[in-house]
């Protein structure tokens, strides 16, 4: 059985990609999917890499998990992540960092670092991650695998532990674009249990309401999108496409390795019949601040539920108020607390207008900038990070530098547009460098086709 030797390696899990592993794997490796530990599964704990949910066993599968099981795929295990998806290196995990499979001194990126590492280490060919401000694309790029953040609403968030509800998306990660297409086929499509899910401008969408009946929970039954056919429709060509390269995202911040990867990929795309053009996207310096204000505001609300009352960690306490305070003080790590504090502040009376409302307005301006770009270009090519994978511990003293790197990625979450990260080269230490292609809403097929075309042309390769 092809998975026997694999099981031994996975149990050893040298890079600490997994938090939980299925004791008996099915025979076929092609059926395995690693699932990020903020996605609910009935057969494994769902910890969000936090002490707060260390022993939490959800009584339900996330809709994405239900659907992949219905498609014949098997959850191989739950992968490590930054705590509650807050972080870019998988170092804020309560259970310890995941190490880069190619070099244990380096981080795999985050927050879906465990999922990316599991693919790069060769344990699985497919994984689910989640992306709120780059958390699929960054570890995909750093580990040299493919990672797609779908259009907001394409994949149901039902069962994804919420961080920032207006930006979160579950997305496929894979060794190749075809792996991502296969997984996206299984999970995409509207869900009556997620009022923000939709298939596209023409296809059916959920009404956003439910009928007033004692019918129990609205189930994640697949509606619309019968056979999305991303894999069947994979057409590896970018001939005739117009690719915009935003100059305001290039510049001196980029390391020579990333700059070199950008130039090589642009040249390859031209050889393949696409047109590339430098342009200005705009709003670059606002993306990270707007993202952090809005995401932290939403997170401070979404994480209010963790109070020790009904589930999760509960401290020892003398009275109710002490229970709330101590449970949250002891259950959350430092980065989570930092973001809850920031979020509470920007939503508070006296500061709401100056920060949150202003950021909401700027979000519309950022979205409009992308729409203007897509009026002229089919896709945008940009970096995922200014440098290759960081060393473990590199960002421990500089939260603001760390946060500012989200400028490359978070714009897609603010605008709700899809974006795919792919392998594009190596650093001088031999570690992977990835880039991303962004498209307009519901252009996932085009993005998958483009990465497939690049793979066929020899730009992408397995990294380890």
Partner 1 sequence: MSGGYIMDIGLEVHIELATKSKIFCGCSTRFGAAPNTQVCPVCLGMPGSLPVLNRQVVADAVLLLSLIHI
Using an 8 Å Cβ cutoff, are 288 and 404 in contact?
Answer: yes
Residue 135 falls in the annotated catalytic set? yes
Residue 93 falls in the annotated catalytic set? no
Applying CB under 8 A, the residues found at the interface with partner 1 are 39-40, 46, 48, 53, 56, 58-60, 62, 157-162, 192-195, 207-218, 305, 310-312
Estimate to the nearest angstrom the gap between the alpha carbon of 138 and the chain centroid.
8
Give the shortest CB-87-to-partner 1 separation in angstroms.
18
Using an 8 Å Cβ cutoff, are 54 and 313 in contact?
Answer: yes
Two tokens, residue 321: 């108020």
Catalytic, out of 50, 88, 93, 111: 111
* Residue with Cβ nearer partner 1 (162 or 250): 162
Residue 111 falls in the annotated catalytic set? yes
Residue 81, phi then psi, degrees to nearest 5: -160, 170
Give the shortest CB-355-to-partner 1 separation in angstroms.
26
| Residue from 85, 99, 77 nearest 18 by CA | 77
Give the shortest CB-307-to-partner 1 separation in angstroms.
9
Q: Rounded distance, CA 332 to CA 295, Å? A: 17
* Residue with Cβ nearer partner 1 (89 or 206): 206
* Residue with Cβ nearer partner 1 (78 or 426): 78
Give the number of C-alpha atoms closer than 13 A to the C-alpha of residue 33, restricted to the C-beta side.
30
Residue 108, phi then psi, degrees to nearest 5: -85, 0
Using an 8 Å Cβ cutoff, are 108 and 143 in contact?
Answer: yes
Two tokens, residue 148: 């797609």
Catalytic, out of 36, 66, 78, 149: 36
- 29, 141, 414, 459 from 147: Cα distances, Å: 19, 8, 18, 16
Give the shortest CB-456-to-partner 1 separation in angstroms.
38
* Residue with Cβ nearer partner 1 (58 or 383): 58
* Residue with Cβ nearer partner 1 (195 or 317): 195
Q: Rounded distance, CA 195 to CA 112, Å? A: 25
Catalytic, out of 88, 130, 135, 228: 135
Q: Rounded distance, CA 442 to CA 284, Å? A: 23
| Residue from 161, 190, 188 nearest 83 by CA | 161
Using an 8 Å Cβ cutoff, are 378 and 240 in contact?
Answer: no
Q: How many CB atoms lie within 10 A of CB 29?
A: 16
Give the shortest CB-343-to-partner 1 separation in angstroms.
17
Give the shortest CB-126-to-partner 1 separation in angstroms.
21
Using an 8 Å Cβ cutoff, are 206 and 198 in contact?
Answer: yes
* Residue with Cβ nearer partner 1 (205 or 259): 205
- Write out the catalytic residue numbers: 36, 111, 135
């Amino acid at each position: 059985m092809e998975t026997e030797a694999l099981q031994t390696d996975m149990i050893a899990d040298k890079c600490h990609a997994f938090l939980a592993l299925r004791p008996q794997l099915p025979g076929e490796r092609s059926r395995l999917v690693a699932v990020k530990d903020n996605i609910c599964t009935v057969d494994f704990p769902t910890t969000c890499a936090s002490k707060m949910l260390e022993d939490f066993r959800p009584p339900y599968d996330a809709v994405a998990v239900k659907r992949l099981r219905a498609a014949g795929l098997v959850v191989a295990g739950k992968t490590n992540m930054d705590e509650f998806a807050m972080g870019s290196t998988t170092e804020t995990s309560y259970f310890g960092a995941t190490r880069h499979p190619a070099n244990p001194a380096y981080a795999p990126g985050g927050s879906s670092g465990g999922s990316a590492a599991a693919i790069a280490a060769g344990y699985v060919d497919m994984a689910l991650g989640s992306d709120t401000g780059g958390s699929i694309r960054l570890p995909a790029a750093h580990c040299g695998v493919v990672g797609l953040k779908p259009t907001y609403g394409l994949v149901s968030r039902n069962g994804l532990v919420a961080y920032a509800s207006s930006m979160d998306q579950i997305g496929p990660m894979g060794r190749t674009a075809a792996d991502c297409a296969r997984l996206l086929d299984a999970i995409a499509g509207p869900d009556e249990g997620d009022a923000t899910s939709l298939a596209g401008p023409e296809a059916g969408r959920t009404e956003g309401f439910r009928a007033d009946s004692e019918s129990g929970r609205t189930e994640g039954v697949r509606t619309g999108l019968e056979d999305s056919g991303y894999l069947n429709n994979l057409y590896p060509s970018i001939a005739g496409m117009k690719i915009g390269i935003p100059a305001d995202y290039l510049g001196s911040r980029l390391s020579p390795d990333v700059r070199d990867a950008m130039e090589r990929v642009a040249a390859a795309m031209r050889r393949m019949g696409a047109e590339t053009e430098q342009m200005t996207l705009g709003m670059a310096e606002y993306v990270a601040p707007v993202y952090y204000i809005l995401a932290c505001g939403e997170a401070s609300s979404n994480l209010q539920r963790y109070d020790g009352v009904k589930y999760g960690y509960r401290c020892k306490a003398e009275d109710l108020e002490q229970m709330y305070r101590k449970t949250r003080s002891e259950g959350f790590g430092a980065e989570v607390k930092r973001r809850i504090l920031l979020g509470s502040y920007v939503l508070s009376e006296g500061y709401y207008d100056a920060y949150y409302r202003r950021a909401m307005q700027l979000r519309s301006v950022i979205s409009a900038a992308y729409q203007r770009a897509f009026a002229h270009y089919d896709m945008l090519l940009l970096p995922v990070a200014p440098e290759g994978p960081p060393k473990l511990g590199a960002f421990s003293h500089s939260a603001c530098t760390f946060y500012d790197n989200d400028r490359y990625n978070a714009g897609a979450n603010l605008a709700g547009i899809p974006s795919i990260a792919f392998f594009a080269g190596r650093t001088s230490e031999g570690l992977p460098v990835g880039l991303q292609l962004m498209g307009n809403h519901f252009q996932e097929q085009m993005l998958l086709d483009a990465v497939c075309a690049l793979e066929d042309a020899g730009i992408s390769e397995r990294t380890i």
